[in-house]
Amino acid sequence: MVLGGSAVDWAVAGVRALVEECAEPASLTLLSDGQADCGRVEAMMSDVDGRSLSAWRVLGKEECDALAADYYRQFPAIRGFREGHPCWRKITDRPLFAAPGEEMVILDPDVYFPNRFTFEPTPERGLLLMWQRPHCLLPAECVRAAYGAPARLAHHTDIGVAQTRAPLPLDWLEWFLGRLGGCDVPRVMHVESIVWAALAMRIGGGYLNPSKWICWHRSLLKRCLMRAGMTGPQLLRMERLQEAKCFHAGGVAKEWLVKAVERGWLKGTTDQTQPTPIVPFEELTPARFEVREVAKRAFHRLTGAAL
């Protein structure tokens, strides 16, 4: 998990649920920024009582930098990429601590686990990602650069949870990031999603079962309810999590997560420790992407809100 000190305010709910509800041995590596951020993350782990984990550790960026300088010494585009948006380190820094063939489960700090659960088995080859109704591939110029690389992109990818094995295909990743713009890639969080979507089509895999691994979707109905006065935690209460393994409270929903959890509105009571089917990736073609862009602009003009 990659998180700065400011993410602790909402990450505590998900980390506590992970510690309490995960039914299999798990070790947790938390990658943060400077020493002050690491201190906040360590305090959070002391608060949630991580003793039920096999192990946990908090590492700052300086420690990761030393490893990355050697690990990526032949890959200047990757080195440059990891100095961009902090979220991009979910791609570059987790492999620094994994042996070849070792399982990597990469988590956003805004995921929550409502029931007793196990992760899905990580495939020997390929990538597992969460599914979301829209896509979060942006900015559009970076998506078009990816298509022009050329690269294929998976549709509906959500990066709340990613599972794969070390190492990533570094030669391909170096090539792709260079084609994406190298050091000139816009420092936008969602560029990470473009890289995961391209990697998905490159190495294969599939979506984690969308009925069990659920992503927050800011639907038109929810927008209307918010304008009518419904609070954020009340909106989260509408989510069907009784039989869910994981809920990704992405976007603005992360700000409501702790209150909804404290009120007991997201807590499930079912056993979700059995594996569930993986759904094959669906490709987002350039033509479908452009249709979506036209629809997004039309929606914005009509409602004054971004999709």
Please state the domain extents for the chain: 5-303
Question: Does residue 289 carry a pLDDT above 90?
Answer: yes
CA distances for 115 relative to 87, 214, 246, 257, 266, angstroms: 27, 13, 8, 16, 9
**Is the preceding peptide bond at 286 cis, omega within 30 degrees of 0?**
no
What's the angle, vertex CA 44, arms to CA 40 and CA 50, rounded to 5?
Answer: 140
Three-state DSSP class for residue 295: helix
The Cα 232–Cα 234 span in angstroms is 5
Tell me the CATH architecture of domain 5-303. Alpha-Beta Complex (3.90)
- Which sign, positive or negative, has the C-alpha torsion 7, 92, 48, 209? positive
pLDDT score for 295:
86
- Choice between 134 and 207, residue whose per-residue pLDDT is larger: 207
Question: Does residue 305 carry a pLDDT above 70?
Answer: no
Q: With bands split at pLDDT 50, 70 and 90, how would you rate the model's confidence at 301?
A: confident
**Cα–Cα nearest to 131, from 161, 151, 168, 91:** 161
- Choice between 154 and 50, residue whose per-residue pLDDT is larger: 154
> How much is the average pLDDT of 155-168?
97
Three-state DSSP class for residue 230: coil
- Choice between 190 and 51, residue whose per-residue pLDDT is larger: 190
pLDDT digits (tens, 9 = 90+) for 69-87: 999 999 999 999 999 999 9
> How much is the average pLDDT of 193-203?
98
**Inter-residue contact 223 to 182 (CB < 8 Å):** no
**Is the preceding peptide bond at 25 cis, omega within 30 degrees of 0?**
no
Q: What percent of the chain has pLDDT over 70?
A: 98
pLDDT digits (tens, 9 = 90+) for 89-112: 999 999 999 999 999 999 999 999
Please give the DSSP secondary-structure letter assigned to residue 118.
-
Show Cβ contacts of residue 221 under 8 Å, excluding neighbours closer than 6 positions: none
Q: What percent of the chain has pLDDT over 90?
A: 88
Q: What phi and psi, each to the nearest 5 degrees, are found at residue 266?
A: -110, -5
**Cα–Cα nearest to 184, from 86, 61, 83, 90:** 83
Task: Find tokens 């609070």 and name the residue.
Answer: 231
Pairing state between β 111-112 and 55-59: unpaired
Q: Does this model's pTM top 0.75?
A: yes
pLDDT score for 21:
96
pLDDT score for 304:
66
pLDDT digits (tens, 9 = 90+) for 110-135: 999 999 999 999 999 999 999 999 88
The Cα 95–Cα 98 span in angstroms is 5
